[in-house]
Chain A
């Protein structure tokens, strides 16, 4: 019986490793998707159709706070993974909830920014620059939204089940996704916002 259990665990951890590698492959294809959107934005950023350019619509301090919220949420995501490994359930719940709040604040700020632009008459249909801007930043925001939904599912799972190997495996996949989105945001912060403000 004991032998069987060991074999089962080994089989599990092997399949976990395969899934994790597969998830890494998915992240890399997502990277290529973002690269296409970045290339589009870089080509079209000057085509403002006499509308606003990046310098007119970007608010440096606002974007800095967005970036800080996402950076801190990446850190709390790391803490959550660590407490899952160590089976510290209360710390895990706290850090997951903190990550959710930070991520939701980030998304809220981004949507507020979008709303302000659309209300001012500078929506995605105004110029090629704005189309590429909304597509690039919006795609990242959509990923953040999916990450938040996934996070809610994880929190529900933590609250209703024991912390198991299968849960830490799920947590690892989600934290890879979340850190990846942080890396993409660093590129958006630098290429779209900071270079737009020069």
Chain B
């Protein structure tokens, strides 16, 4: 490996490392100092995590360099699709199920009044 590409790789590692540190610090500070409302906080944390995943894949895995870079990207996208279906789908279904199966105390007594006339 020549000096030029070594230099390029080293600066990619340093840049990726510094960016990762900065993003981690941002997410941590947001949570510890309660800088946002909880709903926005969740969105901000997820956004920062996605950004950091992108940074690490970009700077640490050296995507474009291999001759099968394109195939790797295709596999990554497919795995990403499966991840979204599994994680998002589970949350969606289970939340729905919870809503239908477990009414709160007032909902339950209302239901009993309607059904049984108690």
Chain A residues near B20 (CB, 8 Å)? 71, 74, 186
Query: Is the Cβ of B82 less than 8 Å from the Cβ of A35?
Result: yes
Query: Is the Cβ of B46 less than 8 Å from the Cβ of A190?
Result: yes
Of residues 17 through 69 on chain A, the ones whose CB sits less than 8 Å from some CB of chain B are 17, 20-21, 24-25, 28-29, 31-32, 35-36, 38-40, 42-43, 60, 64, 67-68
Q: How far is the CB of B24 from chain A (nearest CB, A)?
A: 6
Given known A-B contacts A20-B66, A186-B52, A198-B31, A74 and B60 have beta carbons under 8 A apart? yes
Number of residue pairs A-B, CB distance < 8 angstroms: 115
CA A29 to CA B78, docked complex, whole Å: 10
Query: Is the Cβ of A25 less than 8 Å from the Cβ of B75?
Result: yes
Query: Is the Cβ of A31 less than 8 Å from the Cβ of B79?
Result: yes
Instruction: Say yes or no: is B1 at the interface (Cβ < 8 Å to chain A).
Output: yes
A77: nearest chain-B partner, CB-CB: B60
Of residues 155 through 183 on chain A, the ones whose CB sits less than 8 Å from some CB of chain B are 176, 179, 182-183
CA A179 to CA B57, docked complex, whole Å: 8
Query: Is the Cβ of B28 less than 8 Å from the Cβ of A64?
Result: yes
Query: Is the Cβ of A182 less than 8 Å from the Cβ of B91?
Result: no
Question: For the complex, would chain A's binding face be called helix, strand, loop or mixed by DSSP majority?
Answer: helix
Chain B residues near A75 (CB, 8 Å)? 13, 16-17
Query: Is the Cβ of B60 less than 8 Å from the Cβ of A60?
Result: no
B78: nearest chain-A partner, CB-CB: A28
Question: For the complex, would chain B's binding face be called helix, strand, loop or mixed by DSSP majority?
Answer: helix
Given known A-B contacts A17-B67, A191-B49, A82 and B13 have beta carbons under 8 A apart? yes
Q: How far is the CB of A24 from chain B (nearest CB, A)?
A: 5
Instruction: Say yes or no: is B108 at the interface (Cβ < 8 Å to chain A).
Output: no
Chain A contributes a number of interface residues (CB within 8 A of B) equal to 42
Contact with A along B75-104 (1 / 0, CB 8 A): 110110011001101110010000000000
Q: How far is the CB of B89 from chain A (nearest CB, A)?
A: 8
Chain A residues near B71 (CB, 8 Å)? 21
The one of A42, A67, A186, A198 in contact with B41, judged by C-beta atoms closer than 8 angstroms, is A198
Query: Is the Cβ of B53 less than 8 Å from the Cβ of A183?
Result: yes
CA A187 to CA B79, docked complex, whole Å: 15
Contact with A along B21-36 (1 / 0, CB 8 A): 1001001100110000
Q: Can you offer 19 A-B residue contacts whose CB atoms are under 8 A? A: A28-B76, A28-B79, A32-B83, A35-B86, A39-B86, A39-B89, A39-B90, A60-B28, A64-B24, A68-B21, A78-B60, A179-B61, A183-B53, A186-B24, A191-B46, A194-B31, A194-B45, A198-B31, A198-B41
Q: B residues touching A (Cβ–Cβ < 8 Å)?
A: 1, 6, 9-10, 13, 16-17, 20-21, 24, 27-28, 31-32, 38, 41-42, 45-46, 48-49, 52-53, 56-57, 60-61, 66-68, 71-72, 75-76, 78-79, 82-83, 86-87, 89-91, 94
New A-B pairs, 8, CB < 8 Å, besides A79-B13, A183-B57: A31-B83, A36-B86, A39-B86, A42-B90, A85-B1, A186-B24, A186-B56, A194-B27
